[in-house]
Structure 1
């Protein structure tokens, strides 16, 4: 339910951001971040981890990152290159997912580095927005936000390369085993 709430709040967030209601957009983003944390905490605590939740949670994460990046770039508050870097990595992962599916595999498990990258971006974008909503805080929120944004984009791609290596390992495994006789496996 919390993931569904987060998904429903994405258009609200984007409209607020597009209208320049940065403080309210920041509130919606903060609520979404809190419910993301709460959702994970409750799922682990009550052992309520579901496949639907495993799909909805990262989808909501991506939508918020895309909405924030596109909304901020549309308003010329962040350069479009950062949008291309982040979206490009997700397009890359989509291609890896298609490759895995073509070989009969589902998505790879989430790597810790990917979680770190998402955290960095989830921290960076509100910090950048904070400076817009409250100009008196811009002197420190912008440098901190951009430090996390650049580091997050770098780690995002680093994790993407790890996913690509893991994809190659996984799709080659069946081919290697097909060429091995059962005598070799038993010995």
Structure 2
């Protein structure tokens, strides 16, 4: 297991964290716009949110303001925007509800793994690159689908491409989940053998 990260503070009111909070506040706005079928302004909100995501990460590193709260807010915001896009599109019968269930079920699965790890004295598993790739694919595929809805002239190209990326992202999402489950089983097994709980606090899994 990795050692505890250094240079991570417990501060709350930093500029990067404020940007992350603002991004979270835009989630319900984004959801309402998608449900109402206002895809152009919804995409504008998403672009603004994506820009603040890049900006707060840059500022956190540049200003030395990497915080534990920020490490939680960033992945939480990404997931909420994915969920909002899925729920909004499904509510308008533009995507099937089964894909909403698939994505949400995977994150509930990670919550269960987190509880298991906590019971054995571990924090969440470190971010896996596959999890990052899955989140990126979903965060790309769904807006591409929305792009075709906002601009119908693009739909013949954007819809199949967006669906391909989204389905691939869902597959990677669960693949990463299986990897986290295997790692969790390994950690629990090693803890039982050693008889000592871990003291590591790790970054949230993606």
TM-score normalized by the length of structure 2: 0.84
| Partner residue in 1 for 2:37 | 20
Give a deviation string over 1:60-94, Cα, whole Å, max 9, x none: 11111111100000001111111111111011101
Number of equivalent positions: 179
Report deviation, 1:35. 1.3
- Residue deviations 1:135-179 (CA, integer Å, cap 9, x gap): 001011111111110110000001001111111111222211239
1:93 corresponds to: 110
Contact 2:27 2:80 in 1 (8 A): yes
TM-score, with normalisation over the residues of structure 1? Answer: 0.92
Higher radius of gyration, 1 or 2: 1
Between Structure 1 and Structure 2, the one with more helix by share is: 1
Q: Which runs of 4+ in 1 moved over 6 A?
A: none
Q: 2:122 aligns with which of 92, 105, 115?
A: 105
1:83 aligns with 2:92: no
Q: Which runs of 5+ in 1 are unaligned?
A: 180-187
User: Is structure 2 residue 153 aligned with structure 1 residue 161?
Assistant: no
- 1:143 equivalent among 156, 160, 165: 160
Q: CA deviation at 1:47?
A: 3.0
Contact 2:120–2:191 (Cα < 8 Å) also in 1: no
Between the aligned partners of 2:98 and 2:195, the Cα distance in structure 1 is 44
Measure the CA separation in 2 of the matches of 1:106 and 1:178. 17
Question: Matches of 1:129 and 1:120 in 2, distance apart?
Answer: 14
Q: CA deviation at 1:3?
A: 0.9
**Which position in structure 2 is the counterpart of 1:118?**
135
Cα distance between partner residues in 2 of 1:178 and 1:96: 20
Q: Aligned Cα RMSD in Å? A: 1.2
